[in-house]
Amino acid sequence: MASDLSNARKAWSVLIVSTLAFTVCFMVWMMFGVIGIPIKKMLNLNSTEFGLLTATPVLTGSLIRVPLGIWTDRFGGRIVMAALMAITVPAIWMMGYATEYWHFITIGLFVGLAGGSFSVGTPYVARWFPKAKQGTAMGIYGAGNSGSAVNKFVAPVILVAFGWALVPQVYAAIMLGTLVLFWMFSHSDPDHLVPNTVKFTDQLKALKDPKVIKYCQYYSIVFGGYVALALWMVQYYVGEFGLDIRVAALLAACFSLPGGVLRAFGGMLSDKYGAHSVTWWVLWVSWICLFLLSYPQTDFTVMTVNGPTAFHIGLNVYVFTGLMFILGIAFAFGKASVFKYISDDYAHNIGAISGIVGLAGGMGGFILPILFGVLMDLTGIRSSAFMLMYGVVWVSLIWMYWTEVRKTEVMGQNATNFSLQN
């Protein structure tokens, strides 16, 4: 009894301190979403160059996820997470001294390693809890995505008061302090490690599994889209509605905050109703929101019997923010439900699978901001970013229908026919 109580305390201690660490890592990962705006003006960047600037940290944070997940399975989450955080501190500090575009790109690649923390913490915290509670545990940990919103609250205050260069230096100090707290209150359990008999190549065989590829597609929109919009929204508000950067960051947090915090609730819903049901409704809600967000500001004239009448169609800042808030909630639930799929189907290989799926999501977060910038430069339409994401959601909905919904319907019909025949 005493042993069970001790393990429960360790489990919650690991979950709390890991979630804190992930929140700080995500805050650092999303740093360019705010400081990128004055850097864009300083370097006179176009939209494509700005998209590449904001997406660069996402690239390394994505590519490192698979090996980090596998190393977590092998060596344990405590040592891997601590080492990862320690490595990023010097790079975060150096960001404040960058002056050229290539400086920001190069240092951003190293700062981006912080984004790989998701693939460390997910299997690390999951193994401390029974299977029936793993969705909730991973959802709570995933709520560290709210670090994106924290960045939008903290960075503008420092930026306006002291300039953008102080932001990365403050973040470096916060990362170092969080590293100390993590090491003090986290724990290790040798029973959670993958046996040495399991080869690295065996863990990577999951790449051939069609279900893993499908989960990668889902995650590329609910997480990749979340990351991309979290990076893009501040400058979108500034350009589309002419807002001050502090107001723009605050409104952008209306998407980022629920998109992170409510992931825990999404995990509980996934435990109760199943990963499929939650993901299916998430995709439909996202599809509706993105359809409405895609419509550009439009002025047109209609010739009536009384002469020409002008009309304007477009979202004002209040409706736009409301739709982004709903979209953030949907993405939060979707991020949790996708990883519920993983814990259900790959209980003994969570680290590697979460790394692979996390890589796909992160690559979505890397590619989408660049495509947002390219579309903006080509069309001049800001809402083209939402048009692109609308198409990606369509792919996910069609894929889910034919591999899950349709399959269930056919099985139900066959079962009914069989019972009638007998």
Dump pLDDT digits (tens) for 203-244. 566 667 778 888 888 888 898 898 889 888 888 998 888 888
Strand-pair partners of 310: 301
411 has a pLDDT exceeding 60? no
Up-side HSE of residue 185: CA atoms within 13 Å toward CB?
Answer: 18
d(C-alpha 306, C-alpha 181), whole Å: 72
Strand, coil or helix: 31: coil
CA–CA dist 130, 200 (Å, integer): 26
Question: Which of residues 416 and 389 earns the better pLDDT score?
Answer: 389
Structure tokens at 222: 């609910």
Question: What is the value of pTM for the model shown?
Answer: 0.76
Instruction: Provide the pLDDT for residue 235.
Output: 87
Q: Is the pLDDT of residue 418 over 50?
A: no
Which of 146, 143, 115 shows the shortest CA–CA distance to 256?
A: 146
Q: What local confidence, expressed as pLDDT, does residue 102 receive?
A: 92
User: Within 10 Å of residue 157's Cβ, how many Cβ atoms?
Assistant: 12
The structural domains of the chain, ordered by start, are: 2-187+203-416 (1.20.1250.20)
Each residue's pLDDT tens digit, 316-368: 999 999 999 999 999 989 988 887 888 777 766 776 777 788 788 888 888 89
DSSP 3-state helix, strand, coil percentages of the chain (rounded to 5)? 85, 5, 15
